[in-house]
Amino acid sequence: MLIRYGYELSFECASPTLMVCLLDAHEDRAHHIVYDSGFKTWPANGSSTYRDAFGNQVRKFMAPAGPLTIHRDSIIKDDGLPDPIVENAKELPLDRVPNSYLVYLLGSRYCETDKLSQIAWDLFGSTPPGWRRVQAICDFVNAHVTFGYEYARATRTAYETFEEKVGVCRDFAHLAVAFRRCMNIPARYANGFLGDIGVPPDPAPMDYNAWFEVFLDGRWFTFDARHNQPRIGRITVARGRDATDIPLASSFGPHRLAQFRVWTDEVDQAVLDDLARRSA
């Protein structure tokens, strides 16, 4: 399966402003990319990349005063399989969790384990450990929280999501991640591209999506409390403790987002051939 994905964002800054962005497919998918336009800006503007503490590739640039548009268009080869389900996957004893993953058991900016610990054990303490406990948390969050773009709030935490019962995909992910950490299951927040592949098309404008990964049986598994079903064609961009670690764009000075466009669509070989021919 071939998936075309990309973005076009336009910013306006009153003065030259340092920006860092996490917008491109994670490096662990680099060998699957079969076409890439490269990172482009209008007007032309230099940029560089660096690796953050969580292994994500971050793009860094000085946005000039005035408008700046950034763009990238790529095609990736995907196996076309939905997120795996491994119902017999077990929790590891905590002393066997790799040291570098212990951070994913701790509270973080948006995942207040201290406030949610007793709630989590009251809700899920009697559920079978392992995969079924993780899925029980997904089922609860999916039923407990109502999704709506009108509910978006950048400062909403997991505990506030539990109390308010509304949110967007990042809020679903934060609450589910916090519950899992309360139950001593390592969980990390993730975001990326997720198109309407294998599901009815969503008429809302496409956006980056948030989901999370859980460490069971010595590997990371993908879960998604908002959609609560295996999905096809996820393209991970970044992973971290919560949204604090992996914002799509951060500026060290004021900016206005004038345009935000994201695409993720299944395409055929003819599209790849045409793009390759035009870029030759």
**Cis-peptide, bond into residue 203, ω within 30° of zero:** no
Backbone dihedral region of 210: left (phi > 0), alpha (psi from -120 to 50 degrees) or beta?
Answer: beta
3-state secondary structure 209-274: EEEEEEEECCEEEEECCCCCCCCECCEEEEEECCCCCCCCEEECCCCEEEEEEEEEEEECHHHHHH
Can you give the three-state secondary structure of 204-223, one letter per residue? CCCCCEEEEEEEECCEEEEE
CATH 3.10.620.30, the chain: domain bounds: 94-232
Q: What is the mean pLDDT of residues 59-84?
A: 97
The per-residue pLDDT for range 209-233, each reduced to its tens digit, is 999 999 999 999 999 999 999 999 9
Q: Which residue has the tokens 């970044």?
A: 238
**pLDDT per position as a tens digit, 178-218:** 999 999 999 999 999 999 999 999 888 899 999 999 999 99
Q: Domain 2-79+247-279, CATH 2.60.40.2250 — does that match?
A: yes
Predicted pLDDT of residue 208: 95
Structure tokens of 22?
């996490």
- Both tokens assigned to 213: 């990964």
Question: According to the CATH classification, is domain 94-232 in 3.10.620.30?
Answer: yes
